[in-house]
Amino acid sequence: MNDERIENDTPAPTRPDGLWADDLTPGLTFTSREYPITEAGIIEFARQFDPQPFHLDADAAVGTFFDGLVASGWYTAAVTTRLLVEAFPVATGIVGGGGELVWPSPTLPGDRLHLEIVVGDRTWSTSRSNRARVVVSHQTVNQRGEVRQRTTAQLIAWARPPQRESRRPAQN
């Protein structure tokens, strides 16, 4: 009965070969591929989501705080998400409740960004015994080791569900 509730409460995996909360032990690390940042990519994002001169046009950016074309921090965050989804294989997907971001330096055209991911604290839910909050910290770093974003994300993960062979399918 309790098992049944737990099994019903576990979302369908989006990566059946991925990691469950049981597997996400603090200290586990992952590294992503490199994502090449181009002037065109920076400008395309800025036109849609952050239309400011220093994100849109190298000439218009002269004399502004950045004194040249730089990526929106939110473009760096979007690229970081793409790399996290690829490199951090959680069975039920990357389900986040929020987090903290710091941009120590702006992403520039020509940057090749990769992610260095570290699994932090895992806290099992007291009300839902198959669910855990997992803190994941990652740095978005370019080819010269310059850190463009530091992120601390709060994710939700689920315990590996009981084997199903031994019981009838759950009713809905």
Give me the phi and psi of 26, to 5 degrees please.
Answer: -55, 135
Shortest Å, Cβ 134 to a second copy: 14
Determine, following the binding rule CB under 8 A, whether residue 36 of this chain makes contact with a second copy. Answer: no
Rounded CA-CA distance 55/74 in Å is 11
Shortest Å, Cβ 61 to a second copy: 9
Among 51, 123, 143, 164, binds a second copy (CB under 8 A): 51
**Alpha-carbon radius of gyration of the chain:** 20
Among 34, 58, 64, 87, binds a second copy (CB under 8 A): 64
Q: Show the binding pattern over residues 73-112: x = contacts a second copy (CB under 8 A), - = does not.
A: xx--xxx-xx--x------xxxxxxxxxxxx---------
Residues facing residue 131 across a β-bridge: 158
Joined together, the tokens standing for residue 110 give 């020509």
Q: Give me the amino acid identity at 160.
A: R
Query: Which residue stretch of 11-19, 117-125, 133-141, 160-168 sits at the interface with a second copy (rule: CB under 8 A)?
Result: 11-19
Angle between helix 39-49 and helix 73-87 axes, rounded to 10 deg = 110
Query: Which residue stretch of 23-31, 72-80, 119-127, 133-141 sits at the interface with a second copy (rule: CB under 8 A)?
Result: 72-80
